[in-house]
């Protein structure tokens, strides 16, 4: 920690603010009486400390990063460069419409592009992340039922393979989440779905392809069943890479969708934000879309607000979501075009299936061997854990020694000793082959020297962390002198 380099009185004068800050007008009660415990270091120490930290970073810029369900792909630098143009970057969010026509044109076109790509009737860009998109989506389902006086609906159905955010969003919107089991082929158990549906069903939340990495084949039938019961269908867009340009949620019968632009549309994911989770809806949910949205009358672009959209579920943030992420997504979509978007899903699916086949040939077990993978797939290391005592976490840690970020481990929860692998569309064949060779090597190591694998990583700046002790003895408030 930088505090460990701190010595009283050490300064980096060149970096200090040149003027004294005016404290006048701040009530006495709110002023500090003692100095905050800030690190006192020289400029050189600060530079070295943070440069060293950045060198320890395990990132997509330096390593293969097949983290399933997260889509850690390469995002073209040019999207960021263009989104950082002064006209975009320096625009004040309160600037009048007349001064923001270019920016608003980008957002308007992005609404249109997403509408076309997903087959939805209308799109609002404003949710600031995937979870907020889900909150908006379920909120619209609630508004729809309430508006019709259909107030007895109290349940949202969620498959057991779902992202944890799905049941959480349902509960946040006042619904009870009811779990639907997954069949042994990876698809939803239709009989269980039928028995769960009823007049209390507000809707169902699905990810398709699902988190087990397969395309729900009976989606049309599921849509008919849910609609016949008076419920609506929610599409979690986490896995949009697998279907972009190929099949559209709107055509599958979904009523509402959120898209993670920070996964699929050119914003690096996994850094904790900022994200963007636009929502798209079918015609009957259109009045409830969150605001603001951008409208175009043929001449001018303008914000749609409460005045234009009285039935909206309202605003989710002060302005129109994370503008920078939206602009990057717009540029990415324009660079790819319609054909490029087809190729995203083709390559992401091809890469996943190639990797799955080769790993199966190497002796690894697929969780759903009879199914074609979508853009990600699941291995189960049950056999290795049982026979060799080397589990998924040990494989994951050993991968780090070979310069590969570990795939997602132990999610989804329904597959034992689960390794969820997503190579993404931006990896070359050589890199996929190298991953197979590394997995083969670790498998041999697990057989010949299991203890070494169980103690991995051996070459990282920190060795195996005691995550159990860290969780049991939480210590989050470090201060100098501790």
> Rounded to the nearest whole angstrom, what is the least distance from the CB of residue 411 to other proteins in the complex?
9
> Rounded to the nearest whole angstrom, what is the least distance from the CB of residue 366 to other proteins in the complex?
18
Residue 29 or 471: the one with the smaller Cβ distance to other proteins is 471
334 vs 113: CA distance, rounded Å: 9
Residues near other proteins (CB under 8 A), total: 7
The pair of structure tokens assigned to 211 is: 């988190």
Residue 467 or 475: the one with the smaller Cβ distance to other proteins is 467
> Rounded to the nearest whole angstrom, what is the least distance from the CB of residue 137 to other proteins in the complex?
24
Query: Of 8, 468, 476, 477, which lies in the binding site for other proteins, with binding defined by CB under 8 A?
Result: 468
> Rounded to the nearest whole angstrom, what is the least distance from the CB of residue 164 to other proteins in the complex?
9
Under 8 Å between Cβ of 125 and 278: yes
Site residues (CB under 8 A) for other proteins, limited to 438-467: 467
> Rounded to the nearest whole angstrom, what is the least distance from the CB of residue 206 to other proteins in the complex?
22
Residue 89 or 413: the one with the smaller Cβ distance to other proteins is 413
> Rounded to the nearest whole angstrom, what is the least distance from the CB of residue 427 to other proteins in the complex?
28
Residue 334 or 454: the one with the smaller Cβ distance to other proteins is 454
Contact status: 471 vs other proteins (CB under 8 A):
yes
Stretch that binds other proteins, among 125-133, 249-257, 409-417, 421-429 (CB under 8 A): 409-417
Contact status: 410 vs other proteins (CB under 8 A):
yes
Contact status: 476 vs other proteins (CB under 8 A):
no
Contact status: 413 vs other proteins (CB under 8 A):
yes
Residue 270 or 416: the one with the smaller Cβ distance to other proteins is 416
Residue 324 or 416: the one with the smaller Cβ distance to other proteins is 416
> Rounded to the nearest whole angstrom, what is the least distance from the CB of residue 453 to other proteins in the complex?
18
366 vs 356: CA distance, rounded Å: 8
> Rounded to the nearest whole angstrom, what is the least distance from the CB of residue 314 to other proteins in the complex?
31
List the end-to-end C-alpha distance of the chain, in Å, as a whole number. 12
What is the per-residue burial (b if ≥16 Cβ within 10 Å, else e) of 41-69?
A: beeebeeebeeeeeeeeeebeebbbbbbb
Residue 69 or 349: the one with the smaller Cβ distance to other proteins is 69
Query: Of 268, 287, 324, 416, which lies in the binding site for other proteins, with binding defined by CB under 8 A?
Result: 416
Residue 141 or 388: the one with the smaller Cβ distance to other proteins is 388
> Rounded to the nearest whole angstrom, what is the least distance from the CB of residue 382 to other proteins in the complex?
8
Query: Of 92, 307, 472, 479, which lies in the binding site for other proteins, with binding defined by CB under 8 A?
Result: 472
Contact status: 428 vs other proteins (CB under 8 A):
no
Residue 111 or 166: the one with the smaller Cβ distance to other proteins is 166
Contact status: 77 vs other proteins (CB under 8 A):
no
> Rounded to the nearest whole angstrom, what is the least distance from the CB of residue 87 to other proteins in the complex?
46
Contact status: 414 vs other proteins (CB under 8 A):
no
> Rounded to the nearest whole angstrom, what is the least distance from the CB of residue 222 to other proteins in the complex?
25
Residue 44 or 471: the one with the smaller Cβ distance to other proteins is 471
Residue 462 or 471: the one with the smaller Cβ distance to other proteins is 471
- Which residues of this protein are in contact with other proteins, per CB under 8 A? 410, 413, 416, 467-468, 471-472
């Amino acid at each position: 920690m930088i505090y460990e380099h701190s010595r009283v009185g050490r300064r980096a004068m060149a970096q200090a603010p040149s003027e004294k800050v005016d404290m006048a007008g701040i009530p006495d009660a709110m002023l500090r009486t003692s100095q905050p415990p800030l690190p006192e270091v020289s400029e050189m120490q600060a530079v070295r400390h943070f440069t060293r930290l950045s060198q320890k970073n395990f990132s997509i810029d330096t390593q293969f990063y097949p983290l399933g369900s997260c889509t850690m792909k390469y995002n073209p630098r040019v999207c960021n460069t263009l989104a950082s143009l002064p006209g975009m970057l320096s625009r004040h969010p309160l600037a009048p419409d007349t001064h923001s026509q270019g920016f608003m044109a980008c957002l308007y076109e992005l609404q249109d592009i997403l509408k076309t790509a997903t087959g939805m009737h209308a799109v609002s860009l404003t949710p600031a992340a995937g979870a907020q998109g889900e909150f908006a989506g379920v909120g619209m389902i609630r508004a729809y039922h309430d508006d019709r006086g259909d107030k007895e609906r109290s349940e949202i159905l969620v498959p057991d393979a779902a992202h944890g955010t799905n049941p959480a969003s349902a509960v946040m919107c006042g619904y009870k989440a009811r779990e639907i089991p997954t069949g042994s082929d990876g698809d939803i158990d239709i009989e269980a779905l039928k028995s769960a549906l009823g007049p209390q069903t507000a809707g169902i939340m699905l990810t398709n392809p699902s988190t087990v990495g397969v395309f729900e084949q009976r989606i049309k039938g599921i849509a008919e069943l849910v609609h016949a019961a008076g419920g609506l269908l929610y599409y979690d867009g986490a896995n949009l890479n697998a279907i972009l340009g190929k099949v559209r949620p709107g055509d599958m019968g979904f009523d509402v969708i959120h898209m993670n632009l920070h996964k699929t549309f050119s914003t690096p994911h996994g850094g904790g934000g900022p994200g963007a989770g636009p929502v798209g809806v079918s015609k009957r949910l259109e009045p409830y879309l969150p605001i603001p949205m951008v409208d175009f009358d043929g001449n001018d672009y303008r914000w749609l607000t409460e005045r234009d959209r009285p039935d909206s579920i309202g605003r989710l943030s002060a302005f129109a979501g994370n503008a920078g992420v939206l602009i990057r997504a717009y540029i990415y979509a324009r660079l790819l075009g319609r054909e490029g978007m087809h190729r995203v899903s083709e390559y992401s699916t091809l890469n996943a299936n190639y990797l799955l086949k080769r790993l199966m040939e190497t002796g690894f077990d697929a969780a759903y061997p009879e199914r074609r993978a979508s853009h990600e797939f699941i291995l189960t290391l049950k056999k290795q854990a049982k026979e060799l005592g080397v589990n998924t976490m040990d494989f994951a840690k050993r991968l780090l020694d070979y310069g590969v970020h570990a795939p997602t481990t132990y999610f989804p929860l329904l597959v034992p000793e689960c390794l969820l692998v997503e190579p993404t569309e931006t990896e070359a064949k050589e890199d996929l082959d190298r991953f197979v060779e590394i997995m083969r090597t670790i498998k041999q190591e697990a057989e010949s020297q299991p203890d070494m694998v169980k103690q991995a990583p051996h070459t990282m700046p920190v060795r195996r962390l005691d995550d159990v002790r860290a969780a049991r003895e939480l210590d989050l408030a470090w201060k100098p002198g501790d």
